[in-house]
């Protein structure tokens, strides 16, 4: 049995990071700038952009409304919003993708 938090860490977060990195790249950010914004290394960003990480995008593609949430997340990242707001936005995306309420198993 895979717990929801395992699915988030192994599948959802990498897919979201990949989509966010690609969106930031399309807005003209360099890999180094993306790495700084996402608190990742530049090689990790390269892997997200080349899809060698974050391959489980099909889970997100099953939920087209999530793309709007990801766009909002990208805007918040570019505006350098606070960590708490970004965490809440990411939490909301994960709950939507999992189609589960996780109030009993995670904090936000």
Encoded tokens for 68: 């709007």
Q: 3 pLDDT exceeds 90? A: no
Q: 26 pLDDT exceeds 60? A: yes
- pLDDT at position 36: 95
Sign of CA dihedral 32, 35, 40, 43: negative
> What SS3 state is found at 28?
coil
Average pLDDT for 49-67: 75
Instruction: Give the whole-angstrom CA distance, residue 88 versus residue 95.
Output: 11
pLDDT tens per residue across span 61-108: 777 788 899 999 999 999 999 999 999 998 888 888 877 555 545 544
Q: What percent of the chain has pLDDT over 90?
A: 49
What are the structural domain ranges in the chain? Answer: 4-98
Statement: the pTM of the whole predicted model exceeds 0.85: no
């Amino acid at each position: 049995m895979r717990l929801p938090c395992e699915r988030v860490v192994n599948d959802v977060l990498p897919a979201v990071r990949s989509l966010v990195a690609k969106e930031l790249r399309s807005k003209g950010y360099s890999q180094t700038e993306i790495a700084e914004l996402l608190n990742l290394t530049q090689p990790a960003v390269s892997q997200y952009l080349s899809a060698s990480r974050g391959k489980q995008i099909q889970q997100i593609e099953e939920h087209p409304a999530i793309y709007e949430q990801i766009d909002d997340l990208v805007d918040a990242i570019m505006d350098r919003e606070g960590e708490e707001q970004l965490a809440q936005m990411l939490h909301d995306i994960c709950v939507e993708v999992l189609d589960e309420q996780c109030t009993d198993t995670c904090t936000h």
